[in-house]
Amino acid sequence: MTSLPIPPPDSSTTPDNVLPFQRVQIPRSTSATTFPNPPAIAEFPVTSTSPAPRSDEFLVESIQGEIQRLSRLAQDEVFEDGVHNELSRAIQPLLQQYGQLTVDALSDLYITRLIGPAMISEVLPWLGRTEVRDSLDRNSRFWFLVYSLRDSNASVRGEAALGLASLDDKRAIPYLQQAAASESIQLLRRRLRKAADELLS
């Protein structure tokens, strides 16, 4: 199993007993071909998890440091969809070499707001475009992208949809459909529906 933080839902609907840093265990056996009714993200089962091995913690911290350094270098760049920059060029080899640990580093940096929406938006599509190492890596990318569909920032939601479409994992279909149904921005709603349709085809 791997774990990712539960996304902080709208403050008006956050249960008192759900904290932003609680973690959810993700079963490795999740089928890519069966679709139960997708739960709201805040309803994912919260469980305690055992501490990560010290070597993994060290690697995650090292990856976080590199991502933060690159984020500072990229602050003045103008991001264009599908165009490489300092951050995206570095994220791909990190994903290829460390897989799930890179996603853990990204999710922890973003949930604590040590990197902002502009930076995470630039990275999310590359989670889908970069070759996957193994099933743990795929699951961690998948759930972080699903997590990001509920972000308060519209750019993050849109880039998460692109990432899920590129990841080509049919488990994303009900989550994209659910996000589209609740999306208030028409252009973004079309992007979410398009991503779902691409996976259906």
Q: pLDDT tens digits for 155-184? A: 999 999 999 999 999 999 999 999 999 999
Establish if 182 belongs to a structural domain.
no
Report pLDDT for 119: 86
Q: Which whole number is the average pLDDT over 146-157?
A: 94
Asked if pLDDT for residue 45 goes beyond 80, the answer is: no
Establish if 189 belongs to a structural domain.
no
Confidence of residue 89 (pLDDT cuts 50, 70, 90): confident
Span 51-79, pLDDT tens digits: 445 568 888 899 999 888 888 877 766 55
Q: Which whole number is the average pLDDT over 99-112?
A: 91
Q: What does the chain look like in DSSP terms, one character per residue?
A: -EEEEPP---GGG--TT--TT-EEEE-TT--SS--PPPPPGGGSPB---PPPPHHHHHHHHHHHHHHHHHHHHHTT----TT---HHHHHHHHHHHHHTHHHHHHHHHHHHTTSS-HHHHHHHHHHHHHSPP-SHHHHHHHHHHHHHHTT-SSHHHHHHHHHHHHHHT-GGGHHHHHHHHHH---HHHHHHHHHHHHHHH-
Average pLDDT of the chain is 75
Mean pLDDT check: name the lowest of 5-19, 70-84, 91-105, 167-181: 5-19
The boundaries of the domain holding residue 121 are: 2-10+17-27+36-151
Q: What percent of the chain stands above pLDDT 90?
A: 45
Q: What percent of the chain stands above pLDDT 70?
A: 67
Distance, in Å, from the CA atom of 159 to the CA atom of 172, rounded to the nearest integer, reads 14
For the chain, the domain total comes to 1
Q: Which residues pair with 25 in a beta bridge?
A: 3
Report pLDDT for 30: 36
Establish if 105 belongs to a structural domain.
yes
Establish if 164 belongs to a structural domain.
no
Confidence of residue 36 (pLDDT cuts 50, 70, 90): very low
Residues 6+ apart with CB under 8 A from 65: none
Establish if 53 belongs to a structural domain.
yes
Establish if 92 belongs to a structural domain.
yes
Give the Cβ contact number of residue 7 at 10 Å: 23
Q: Which whole number is the average pLDDT over 109-119?
A: 88
Establish if 81 belongs to a structural domain.
yes
Of the two residues 72 and 41, the one the predictor is more confident about is 72
Establish if 89 belongs to a structural domain.
yes
